[in-house]
Amino acid sequence: MEASAGLVAGSHNRNELVVIRRDGESGPKPLQQLSGQICQICGDDVGLTVEGELFVACNECAFPVCRTCYEYERREGSQVCPQCKTRFKRLKGSARVAGDEEEDDVDDLENEFNFDGRSKEDMQYLAEAMLQGHMSYGRGGDADMPQVVHTMPQVPLLTNGQMVDDIPPEQHALVPSFMGGGGKRIHPLPFADPNLPVQPRSMDPSKDLAAYGYGSVAWKERMENWKQRQEKLQVMRNENGGKDWDPDGDGPDLPLMDEARQPLSRKIPLPSSQINPYRMIIIIRLVVLGFFFHYRVTHPVSDAYALWLTSVICEIWFAISWILDQFPKWLPIDRETYLDRLSLRYEKEGQPSRLAPVDFFVSTVDPSKEPPLVTANTVLSILAVDYPVDKISCYVSDDGAAMLTFEALSETSEFARKWVPFCKKFNIEPRAPEWYFAQKIDYLKDKVLPSFVKERRAMKREYEEFKVRINALVAKAQKVPEEGWTMQDGTPWPGNNVRDHPGMIQVFLGQSGGHDTDGNELPRLVYVSREKRPGFNHHKKAGAMNALVRVSAVLTNAPYLLNLDCDHYINNSRALREAMCFMMDPLLGKKVCYVQFPQRFDGIDRHDRYANRNIVFFDINMRGLDGIQGPIYVGTGCVFRRQSLYGTDAPKTKKPPTRTCNCWPKWCCCGFCCGGRKKNKSTKAKQEKKRGTFRKADAGAMVKKVDSIEEGKEGIENGKSALTAEQKLEKKFGQSPVFVASTLLEDGGTLKGATAASLLKEAIHVISCGYEDKTDWGKEVGWIYGSVTEDILTGFKMHCHGWRSIYCIPSRPAFKGSAPINLSDRLHQVLRWALGSVEIFLSRHCPLWYGYGGGLKWLERLSYINATVYPWTSIPLLAYCTLPAVCLLTGKFITPELSNVASLWFISLFICIFATSILEMRWSGVGIDDWWRNEQFWVIGGVSAHLFAVVQGLLKVLAGIDTNFTVTSKAGDDEEFSELYAFKWTTLLIPPTTLLIINLIGVVAGVSNAINNGYESWGPLFGKLFFAFWVIVHLYPFLKGLLGRQNRTPTIIIVWSILLASIFSLLWVRIDPFLAKSDGPVLEECGLDCN
């Protein structure tokens, strides 16, 4: 893909396609020029070399000449460059012609004397036949062509077809001298046709057999070691009896051949001394809860029945919520990765890296809310990641079509040419320049190169200049011209109308022009802005991510994807290798749909008063889920398997044959053991065979269709009798044959024969606004629509298809982002998450009734139910936090006078609650501060954001009313964590403030009443005060957020809260439903005769 192609903008529906050149070049250019330079002799595309680089015929002046004209000029022409008149030198792959001098640097013996052996048609056929054999697509063999090439046989291969010993292939005893007939010598392929006889190579009796690989000491030692290891492996299998044999690769380390073939990761269960007491206390707590509720239900409070009934209902709901949250943490585990084994297996010395390609997705919308400098740092950290550069492609989705984002990305691509080699030369961490230069550490530590200090200072100056340019762009973008933005060549910016603009694609870094200052290749960097038109539902972030899935499949089609928010940079440059230890593990990887990393944040104050870090969720809940079926998807920092996003089922694990008892009669075993399964087994076999045939038919149909596109044909005749496999795929994935063909390639890869022009045209097609109409996008394919928290819904659908996910916690955090640290922004973030859960709960994808009969495990289902039900806890929580004030104001309580047995159950329940929390902190390593902040914010968010999310969700889903709660900002100062003290008024602050005021009033009223009534009233008061202080202590961070740095509560909060508290008090005096009613005074006989 050419980096100099310019901005491609167009609309498939309107049949529009233009190219806007950069650097002030004149106007739009035709799309045919996108694939590379134009040959100045014949006018065709110059093309690429075998290594994927631009073909250069003349090394002196680089005059653009295609390979066909180069070969013709050397063979039959003047043999000199038309521009500089320098004689053409022989390049690799070219035949030697008369007059060629001896060239030491060209080692191409196979083509050296092949002058006229092959015609142009033969070469084209051979290339496509080899492409078919290696890449699973391309034209196959024709009947009228000589059969000189045979495709790869489908036979199991040892060591994945790689040579693991030191014997070169030409020294093996049996080497085919040719493959097929035809009498022509061709490039030797690694696999021969099994139907043809293998031609044995004659062995020279004068040579030692070791030259052929036999009889040497090394060969004997290898054979003996192999036999011993195989015997040990067989003994282990027999001893275990297949019971402990884990098909997922989580079992004990196997005695494999060598270090490179051992598992790339392993599962580490928690020590029994930590997990067993934790499980025991959970069971004890369940038993105590049963006795506790038995007492609560059977002992109502007659003089405060409404208070008692309200409290019991709330407590039952809290118990159900605790069960939903607790049991998915029953099997917590840790995982360990082996990066050295990954390198040994897939990065052998002297061979090209076989690590899988990865496409990075970065999404941004509004540069005014998501600063371009933050996005630039994220992109720079991706481009500098510790991974082969030819395996990395970064796609940036600009859903706001902002020219500011486009220009900032252009500046970022230029700065990356200097930043990336600096990072890799000195192996620095992190590789986001803003955070690297902000580190308060000794940058000279462990750096031995004397040039490091000098180059670091120079790079810091370069970055400061880069920041100045970015900030200048931001300042310029504050005032939009009346006629809209224009490009450098005077062309209007296609995205001037945010709601009505064509799709845009710009390749900033690619195969040509994508080199750093040291001349090394850089990863691809692609700008994407999908088409938007009025009247279409674009589905916000989920729609943008699906557009990136399609664009990346057309342009690069990496088998794995990694999505990041624009404010989450890569903090650990080897994080991608950590994920590949799971994804590329031959034993475990095929069933893994994604690897989720925990979210870590920068810029949060030390106390973390609003629990922004979410330590309890990421270090306790997610580790518990990893032991079941895997963690839920949290929206960022996640590596996906591309095939799992296409709505496919996870591959089934073949179970070993079960053992039967020989003591039963044969007819009994057949009747009871096999009879019920035989029919199902045959049915499944037929379904699998049918599915495999269907998939092969799909691949063949799509390859033919792609070939027809390359040959200039338009469309394929559709069958009239029945819906073909091709039509089913198009109905599922859309009307792009190139994209549909890419979905059939499980290991990724693009169409080698397709030009960059055709791929970019197809990429514009797949991001058109009407592409998803009448398809499965957003329903079964890609990110799922229907909720603002599309992440939970997407992961839930994958788990329902039988996939499992992995939770990876590297020692150095993989990614870091920014979090809202002031109270109002934090509440609005929680509001958005809770609203998405309410939408899922009220949709057809609710885990309570969706996905049965699939691959979702029941403990995993409990976790998803908890993730969608938790906002509804706000209703009983609000009522429960109001009860202490009511009890103090009325003198009543929610429980009768406790007996000794009742006191025992209450005390036991409190002890179990504390013991569970302590043991959780023990096995997870979470500190008590983080645990307590999480408990506090559970109450704060529950009585504010979660409550409003329930109301907003009901209005949106049931009544169709979309209600938004706006935030107005009040500027803070420029000191560290100044944003923490910035106050932003929002409606979410009213309920918790009201709760604080009425509970404080209740405490004052209760204490005053006890002072007036004497000593006897202090005993019942302690329970009520404890209840009220429980609420006040949990809301204490909220109170600090209201007071701010100046210890002054804003007037608007005081007015609203006092008004609500006054209304509540007046209604209470008027209604007073909890006081016992009496007909008159109760008179006691005093013993005196009043008459």
* Spacing of C-alpha 122 from chain mean position: 45
DSSP state letter for 391: G
Q: Tokens 């400098």 map to which residue?
A: 373
Active-site entry in 325, 399, 516, 619: 399
Active-site entry in 565, 585, 608, 791: 791
CB distance 372 to 408 below 8 Å = yes
> Measured between alpha carbons, how far is 770 from 536 in angstroms, rounded to an integer?
8
Q: What amino acid is encoded at 1000 in this protein?
A: L
DSSP string of 226-285, one letter each residue: HHHHHHHHHHHHHHHTTSS--TTS-SSPP--SSGGGS-SEEEEEPPHHHHHHHHHHHHHH
CB distance 120 to 135 below 8 Å = no
> Measured between alpha carbons, how far is 768 from 500 in angstroms, rounded to an integer?
12
CB distance 934 to 611 below 8 Å = yes
Strands 804-807 and 592-596, by their bridges, are: parallel
CB distance 893 to 1023 below 8 Å = yes
Interhelix angle 945-954/928-942, nearest 10 degrees: 40
* Spacing of C-alpha 579 from chain mean position: 11
Which tokens belong to 782?
């890609």
User: Sign of the C-alpha dihedral, residues 625, 629, 630, 634?
Assistant: negative
253 is catalytic: no
CB distance 812 to 924 below 8 Å = no
Question: Could you give the 3-state DSSP secondary structure of residue 779?
Answer: coil
CB atoms within 10 A of CB 74: 24
773 is catalytic: no
Query: Which alpha helices (DSSP H) does 673-771 contain, by range?
Result: 675-710, 725-733, 737-743, 756-766
Nearest alpha carbon to residue 763 among 565, 617, 928, 555: 555
Give the burial string for 317-335 (b: 16+ CB within 10 Å, else e): bebebbbbbbbbbebbbeb
Give the burial string for 925-948 (b: 16+ CB within 10 Å, else e): ebeeebbbbbebbbbbbbbbbbbb
Half-sphere exposure (Cβ direction) of 326: Cα atoms closer than 13 Å: 19
What is the chain's length?
A: 1091
DSSP state letter for 773: T
User: Phi-psi bin for 108: left (phi > 0), alpha (psi -120 to 50), beta?
Assistant: beta
Give the burial string for 970-1004 (b: 16+ CB within 10 Å, else e): eebeeeeeebbbbbbebebbbbbbbbbbbbbbbbe
Nearest alpha carbon to residue 897 among 290, 303, 97: 303
Q: Tokens 């036949």 map to which residue?
A: 129
CB distance 1044 to 1025 below 8 Å = no
Task: Using CB atoms within 10 Å of the CB of residue 548, give its burial: 0 to 12 exposed, 13 to 18 middle, 19+ buried.
Answer: buried
DSSP state letter for 776: S
Nearest alpha carbon to residue 595 among 374, 778, 356: 356
The CA distances from residue 381 to 510, 530, 552, 664, in Å, are: 17, 24, 20, 66
Half-sphere exposure (Cβ direction) of 523: Cα atoms closer than 13 Å: 28
DSSP string of 400-418, one letter each residue: T--HHHHHHHHHHHHHHHH
Question: Catalytic amino acids?
Answer: 399, 791
